Amino acid sequence: MNILGILNGMSGISYHRLYAPLHDLQIRGFAQIDIWTPRDEQGKYRPLPDLSKYDLVMWNGTLAEPQMQIIDILNTRGIPFIVDIDDYWMLNRYNPAVDEWKRRGLAAKVQEALYHADAVIVENDRLREQAYKVNRNIYTIPNALNLTELQWNQEKQPGDKFRVGFVGSRSHRYDLFTISQAVREFCEETGSEYNICGYDEKDPEWTAVGNDVAPVGHPDWLKLRPGVHPSQYGIYLSRLDVVLAPLVASQFNNCKSDLKVKEAGCYSLPVIASNFGPYHDHPSQGVYTASGIKEWKARLYEAYKGKLDGRPNAAYLEHEGDLHKVNLDRIAVLTEVLVKK
């Protein structure tokens, strides 16, 4: 079987939803995988590849401008395609991409892709409810990690201070705002360290986060760690003692995944999370929820005193987040789609 994966750059979503799963399928011998990106390094659209070579095509979300051209070619040649969805396509006002999303009509383009797809794969059942309104052929396959990657097998590094950390993207600006005061007061009172991993000093979304935590200069306890390739960010977790996962209550965030719990599980770290969406009533006992500044601060003190246990997150990862196991479901879906076509 020949599969083409179309990636809109190498974001965390592209990596976890397409690149890593397809790479695993190739290693298993299930399929020959090619990866193609619509734009070159200068942002210009590339000529389309020869799509007739493939038995199946997959992409995440929307391909924007060339999407309908690709769909028309695939339909004409009888080649099935699958659209993978990791996030809700109706961005809220807190998302830094919302203005561009509206200007380019990308929400409508996602729905266009969903409507025409032979099948849709979503990350969770809350997102499934939304996608089902557009396409009834829906499969749920959760995010998972390739546990053989070096980033998930680092020696855990001890620190001379207690280390609180967030590992994620610029889209969490307003989520992080909700915990700035609690983390700042905690770190100032205990001498703990706050690591924000994924930071870009040239990005105003990120500088706003840093300035919200520490409005007057950046103190020694605030560590702004640069963003790295999606195959490397796990190393940051090996240098933390507790992981933070804040979310503003919104329809968009309600459809988010619990990947941060699985990432924390690689190093048996506890997670303090908003009592909302993927973390509300989470099956892992290593997820400790909080609402409001007082609860967040109280949870941080519990972690500081060693009262939060991260080992259940490791067990949860083993059962629910091992890509090698989860990909068996992906193989079943791809096979079913090809048989139906």
Query: What is the DSSP secondary-structure string of 126-155?
Result: HHHHHHTTT-S-EEE----B-TTSGGGSPP
User: Which two tokens mark 294?
Assistant: 């007082």
Q: What is the 8-class DSSP label of residue 30?
A: S
Q: What is the 8-class DSSP label of residue 45?
A: B
Question: Of 82, 36, 25, 30, whose CA–CA distance to 59 is shortest?
Answer: 82
The set of residues, in sequence order, having a beta carbon less than 8 Å from that of 328 and lying 6+ positions away, is none
- 136-175 pLDDT tens trace: 999 999 999 999 999 999 999 899 999 999 999 999 999 9
pLDDT of res. 237:
98
Q: Map residue 44 onto helix, strand or coil.
A: coil
CA distance 157 to 201: 25
Question: Of 1, 12, 16, 68, whose CA–CA distance to 38 is shortest?
Answer: 68
| Length of the chain, in residues | 341
pLDDT of res. 215:
87
Up-side HSE of residue 292: CA atoms within 13 Å toward CB? 2
Please name every residue paired with 60 in a beta bridge, in sequence order, or none if there are none: 84
Look at the block and give the residue holding tokens 């995944």: 257
Q: Map residue 97 onto helix, strand or coil.
A: coil
For the chain, the average pLDDT equals: 96
CA distance 178 to 193: 18
pLDDT of res. 341:
72
- How far apart, in Å, are the Cα atoms of 89 and each of 81, 112, 128, 151? 19, 11, 12, 29
> Which residues of the chain, if any, have pLDDT below 70?
none
CATH annotation of 2-144+322-340: 3.40.50.2000
Q: Map residue 104 onto helix, strand or coil.
A: coil
CA distance 120 to 133: 12
Fold designation for 150-320: Rossmann fold (3.40.50)
- What's the CA angle centered on 293, arms 287 and 297, to 5 degrees? 60
CA distance 238 to 269: 9
pLDDT of res. 216:
82
As annotated, the residues of the chain forming the CATH 3.40.50.2000 domain(s) are 2-144+322-340, 150-320
- Helical residues (DSSP H) of the chain, grouped into ranges: 12-14, 20-28, 67-77, 98-103, 106-116, 125-131, 173-177, 180-190, 204-213, 234-237, 251-254, 259-265, 292-304, 311-320, 323-340
pLDDT of res. 35:
97
